[in-house]
Amino acid sequence: MPALPTTVTLQRLVFSSMCVAPLCQAAPDTKAFFGNHCLECHDTETRKGGVDLEALRWAPNEKAAYDKWVKVYDVVQKGEMPPKKEDRPAADASRAFLTDLGDNLSTVDKQKIAANGRTVLRRLNREEYERTVQDLLSISLPLTAMLPADTPLYGFDTVSEGLRLSTLQMEKYLEAADAAVDAAINLGPEPAPISGHWLVKNEEGVRKNIDTPEGTLTNPNDPKSKHRQLLRELPDGAIVFFDQGYPAAQIRQVERHPAGLFRIRVSAYGFQRKGESIPMRVYGDNFKDKQLLGWFDMPADKPRVVEFVGRLRANEHLRIEPTNTGVDEKGQNVYNIGAKEFGGSGLAIQWVEVEGPLKETWPPRSMEALFGDTPITKIEEGRKNRDKRVAYEIKPEDPKASAKAVLERFATKAFRRPLEPGEADRYVKLTTDALDEQLSYLDAIRIGFRAILTAPQFLFLEEHTGKLTDYALASRLSYFLWSTMPDEELLKLATEKKLSDPQVLRGQVERMLKNERAKAFVTNFTGQWLDLRNIDATTPDKKLYPEADELLRVSMVDETEAFFTELLASNLPVTNIIHSDFAMLNSRLAAHYQIDGVDGEQIRKVTLPANSPRGGIITQASVLKVTANGTTTSPVLRGAWVMKKLLGQPPSPPPPGVGSLEPDTRGATTVREQLDKHRNSETCKGCHSKIDPPGFALESFDVIGGFRDRYRSQDKGDTATVSNTRKKRLYIKLGPAVDASGALADGAAFTGIIDFKSLLMANPQPVVRALTEKLVIYSTGAGIGFSDRPAIDAIVAKTEEQGGGLRTLVQEIVQSPLFQSK
């Protein structure tokens, strides 16, 4: 296969984008202000807090030095320096100092933008690449696992500075392109679909367990290996599964099939549940691993038929499991007494129906995506008449002319804009050269497709310094809200040069947010902004948190994504992030939050009781889990998270040599007692006065987001039970009482999370501004520079003037010069 001439081009593009012209800027006049108000503590000899202002050079080309000057500006502007206990500078002196330094910092930043734009050359990240290729080729092949991980900057993997291109990445892009094209070119016979109604009682493993008499010797060499019936057959034909492990309901009758989307129906109900529903989990299982397709609350004693569409891998069977069963109220296990005598609850499954793969046409739409209206003819496969199946082939009369038309059409779609004259010639030549070497039409044109999918015009968003063209605006908008390429309507408006019209642009944002593809925005933005991608980074200690289960973990993320979606859809004020009078719950979360009256697996909007500690984002279980380890909570970690993610005030890293707290897993001492010792030094006290309060306010929530009055202990303590969805009682030991009180750096006191949220609501602008900055970073692919601050202020002001809604904020960001310029 001919080598692709794209690698050198890609490297040149990337490295040229990193070159920044030297900046020439006179240093600000800070000598008098520093000498009068700062050097007593921050000279070379004293260096209080590790800050030496005497040695601070004006070096605008050096990022580290520039960032230090920005830090100086911020602490003076906020009144944090000089400290309040010291003599304060005169207002005129502070104003003059800030004006001079601010003008210089802005000038430096604007020079960089004038030379290179805010956003340097931005590559598609893994998620965007996969979704774009899937949409472009009309395939569903997963591709992210084939590509190296992207490097997040400023909290997001959409930032251009982190999306560098290595030799390894270029090699992996070639592999991914080959895999995608192979998946798209499918001229074989139409896969045989499956459509069936299968009784669970007819499964071989089920019959073997039920039909084998109790006490039958299962191992001739072991007289103790006597068979125990663990399943029960009911008069209506349903089979009751009492344990979520073995024997599991493996529907092996659903096994021989191609990969794709399937319509799945299951009829089941709770057995011996005393009126309570039972959560049923449905997996796709290929014996190597299993994937959760969905879970459903099944009613007691009355069959419910659930129907959903799920993606199955090739030849994958279904596995159905009950949740939280296997032990009765007396503590007896089904393995000890057998299914006939067992009085505990179980899941009764009657039948399963599967239909699919679901498709519209054959050959698949991917062929049209690649070849357009190129004729596809039918052929017959098989040596014997009874074995012959209808397949297809493409054999154009003029292969070279066909290749040129096909590749030019495909490149236009892939590059997300009209082609420049002759721009596709290099890709066409790769194919025609291969045809001259006697490769078949399909093998030759694969080379052209592969080259286009690894071309700089495809892998990078094409943006030039200054205001974006309508085509560049279409791509920036679609990757912001959909994480994929623009659709036909966006490109049509770009062609007509109407997209940049403010009213047209507002209409497109509304249309796109209502589209199903906007789920990608919610998932990818919240997944990084709130660290939801780290939900599985820790595993709750089973002894301390026995109620933690898979359904709770899944529901945690669903709640936060649904909450953000609700704010968007209803244009609710951004301040709901701090506190809301509702939550997005299902039965599993409601049980965890001890809120009554919520049934079913579906997430829905639930009005919270008066004085509920819930509401907003910081009291959601997902956030509380990702800000803790599996055993203990840390006010420092949670406080730093709140400052960085929600308040836009990331704390400085700890000074060198400052040790971390060792968690007391026994629960003998509280974290507050440990922190009191840690904060005795002046070095630590200043930072902790800001970091710790949000963390203390959240101490009423454990590592899985449950509300608590006392810590849990692995050692001694009172015994208690925890709330969960099981019939089985779960016992824990309780340690010292929780103290969730504290005071903000300005002295405002709170006694718990409700008071703390009230203090934040009294001045919500930092939260609104922080979210604005996060959305701008995510959508534009660049961090917030010093000269961007006035534009951020304008976005916040315009949003608040219109009621402060989240959708309004998105609209104002899209309308801003920050979004519409490189």
Q: Could you tell me which residues are beta bridge partners of residue 378? A: 392
Residue 618's pLDDT is 96
What integer pLDDT is reported at residue 657 of this predicted model?
55
Domain locations along the chain: 7-116, 194-356, 529-757, 766-820
Listed residue (147, 178, 141, 185) closest to 163, CA to CA: 147
For residue 36, the model assigns a pLDDT of 86
With 0-12 / 13-18 / 19 or more C-beta atoms within 10 angstroms meaning exposed / middle / buried, residue 813 is buried
Euclidean distance between CA atoms 20 and 111, whole angstroms: 10
DSSP state of 300: B
pLDDT at 726: 43
Rounded to whole angstroms, the maximal C-alpha distance in the chain is: 99
Q: Cβ distance 321 to 248 under 8 Å?
A: yes
What pLDDT sits at residue 783? 95
pLDDT of residue 757: 97
pTM of the model: 0.91
Q: What is the pLDDT of residue 470?
A: 98
**Per-residue confidence (pLDDT) for residue 386, from 0 to 100:** 52
Count H helices, E strands: the chain? 29, 21
Alpha helices in 38-165 (DSSP H): 39-42, 63-77, 91-116, 126-137
CA distance 256 to 239: 23
Alpha carbon separation from 11 to 15, 16, 160, 175, 268 (Å, rounded)? 6, 8, 15, 18, 58
208-211, long-range: CB < 8 A, 24+ apart: 209/247, 210/239
Specify the pLDDT at position 654: 66
Among 3.40.50.1370, 2.40.160.20, 3.90.650.10, 2.60.120.260, what is the CATH number of 194-356? 2.60.120.260
pLDDT of residue 214: 87
Structure tokens given for 203: 């499964």
Rounded distance between C-alpha atoms, residue 62 and residue 593, angstroms: 50
Asked if residues 786 and 817 have their Cβ atoms less than 8 Å apart, the reply is: no
Distances (CA, A) of 296 to 309, 520, 551, 589, 622: 13, 24, 10, 14, 20
pLDDT mean values, one per 10 residues, the chain (822 residues): 45 43 63 86 82 86 89 88 82 91 91 86 96 97 95 96 91 96 92 91 92 85 84 96 85 87 97 93 93 96 96 94 86 86 94 90 92 89 57 91 98 98 96 96 97 97 94 98 98 98 98 98 98 96 92 97 98 98 97 94 96 96 96 93 94 64 54 62 66 94 96 79 58 88 91 96 96 98 95 98 98 98 94
Query: For residue 319, which of 277, 358, 271, 287 has the smallest C-alpha distance?
Result: 287
